[in-house]
Amino acid sequence: MNLGPSKRQLRPVKVNESPVVEVRGLVKTFRRNGRWPWSPVRQIPAVQGVDLTVAPGEVVALVGQSGSGKTTVSRIVLGLDEPTVGEVFLEGLRWDGLPESVRRPLRVNYQYVPQDAMGALDPQQTALEHVEETLTVLGGMSRADAHQAGQDMLRRLGLGARMHALPREMSGGEQRRVTLARVLALDPRLVVADEPTSGLDLDRRESVLEALIGNLPPDAGCILVTHDMTEARGWCHRVLAMLAGRVIEEVDLTVAEPAHPYARILFDPWSAPVPRGPLATTGCPFRPDCPLASGDMQAVCAATVPQLSPLGDAQDRHRVACHVLAPVDGAGPAASNTKSSDSPPTETNAPAASSPAENP
């Protein structure tokens, strides 16, 4: 299957500089109380052992079906949720667990674009007033400077004629661009965009992404949470496909195509139906629907959770969690062409469920 290369010129990435984001061994478990006071408390694993880095200038996509853990990871990166286990570093600073009194003055550098633009806007403020308030409260600008900077940013995003419009007078695309203007006016070092084009038609999606990624500061990193594989292919340098709280494939789309059967279905839904049934609770969660989990590999796929391992000689530019494509123990048909991994020993998978923080 050849999905075709992106035709858009991607942003330059400074791979030799320190990452903007570095996440190590991220685990998040939610506690859910039963219906009755005496009911046992359930442990809901939402994220299981995720590693993530974002270099200066890089745009990384988190993709997967609803409930796969994408939004939970993005919220933990920004400190909106705390991890159960793992470490989060923003520009070298250990971010998780910091007191909010320490994080608050630094939050101006790490911004969030919400999925619900209308809910994020004040119904009584115009587009310009939204940006002015952001620049005065978070950016520390004088009102006069904020007024001029707000006008300049809105013009850059194509809202020069809509500066004095209220949210209810704007289209969905205009509302999204106002939320982007508030974020981009601060010259952030990191932008986490959670489904920024959800609910928009195709041409408005393109205009919103052009406004977001086209106006990022040169050294800023971006995490794009999306269900739209066209967005990931057209705008992102790397893609992390998530399933059941784990990253099952990490691929640099400038040099390779998705290889994991689940990731291939996400990027080409015409090739096979997207799984709707329950995932496996032991071994590889995708094995009930996986065409590779057959024959002698059925027992292997059922016994242990596959770890992310380099695919062939791609090293860190393409990693797959699959016993068949990238076995860690030398077993399987791909062993002769696969570089051995330094991943830790595999372990039995725990049941995964949708995170309460994951948007539907």
Separation CA 256–CA 318 (nearest Å): 7
- What CATH number does residue 210 fall under? 3.40.50.300
Separation CA 85–CA 29 (nearest Å): 9
Nearest Cα to 337, choosing from 359, 356, 318?
318
Q: Return the pLDDT at 315.
A: 65
- 29 domain residue, yes or no: yes
CA 358 to chain centre: 12
Q: Return the pLDDT at 8.
A: 65
DSSP for residue 39: S
CA 303 to chain centre: 29
Question: Do 200 and 118 form a contact (C-beta atoms < 8 A)?
Answer: no
DSSP 271-296: SSPPP-SPPPSSS-TTGGG-TTS-TT
Q: Return the pLDDT at 333.
A: 47
Residue 28, classed as helix, strand or coil, is: strand
Q: How many domains does the chain have?
A: 1
- 267 domain residue, yes or no: no
Computed over every residue of the chain, the mean pLDDT equals 84
Phi, psi of 90 (to 5 degrees): -115, 115
With bands split at pLDDT 50, 70 and 90, how would you rate the model's confidence at 350? Answer: very low
Query: Which helix H or strand E contains 34, and what residues bound it?
Result: none
Q: Return the pLDDT at 136.
A: 94
> Is 90 exceeded by the pLDDT of residue 281?
no
| Residue 248 CB partners (closer than 8 Å, separation 6+) | 241, 242, 260, 262, 263, 286, 306, 308, 320, 321, 322
Q: What is the pLDDT of residues 32-51, one digit of tens each?
A: 887 888 888 888 899 999 99
Q: What is the pLDDT of residues 199-250, one digit of tens each?
A: 777 778 888 888 899 999 989 999 999 888 888 888 999 999 999 899 999 9
Q: What is the pLDDT of residues 102-155, one digit of tens each?
A: 999 999 999 999 888 888 899 999 999 999 999 999 999 999 999 999 999 999
| Residue 220 CB partners (closer than 8 Å, separation 6+) | 20, 56, 57, 187, 188, 189, 190, 191
Q: Return the pLDDT at 38.
A: 81
With bands split at pLDDT 50, 70 and 90, how would you rate the model's confidence at 289? Answer: confident
User: For 59-78, what is the mean pLDDT?
Assistant: 92
- 344 domain residue, yes or no: no
- 114 domain residue, yes or no: yes
Q: Return the pLDDT at 92.
A: 93
> Is 60 exceeded by the pLDDT of residue 272?
yes
Burial 95-123 (b: 16+ CB within 10 A, else e): bbebeeeebeeeebebbbbbbebeebbee
Q: Return the pLDDT at 279.
A: 86
Give CA torsion, residues 72, 188, 210, 240, to 10 deg: -30
Q: Is residue 160 exposed (0-12), middle (13-18) or buried (19+ Cβ within 10 Å)? A: exposed
Q: Return the pLDDT at 133.
A: 95
- 345 domain residue, yes or no: no
Burial 309-322 (b: 16+ CB within 10 A, else e): bbbeebeeebbbbb
With bands split at pLDDT 50, 70 and 90, how would you rate the model's confidence at 24? Answer: very high
- 318 domain residue, yes or no: no
With bands split at pLDDT 50, 70 and 90, how would you rate the model's confidence at 354? Answer: very low
* Lowest-confidence pick of 1-5, 71-75, 166-170, 198-202: 1-5
Domain span including residue 56: 21-243
* Lowest-confidence pick of 39-48, 60-69, 326-335: 326-335
Q: Return the pLDDT at 329.
A: 57
> Is 50 exceeded by the pLDDT of residue 22?
yes
- 82 domain residue, yes or no: yes
Q: Return the pLDDT at 75.
A: 93
Give CA torsion, residues 227, 23, 318, 276, to 10 deg: -30
Q: Return the pLDDT at 182.
A: 94
Q: Is the pLDDT higher at 337 or at 118? A: 118
Q: Return the pLDDT at 314.
A: 62
> Is 60 exceeded by the pLDDT of residue 346?
no
- 300 domain residue, yes or no: no
User: For 24-28, what is the mean pLDDT?
Assistant: 94
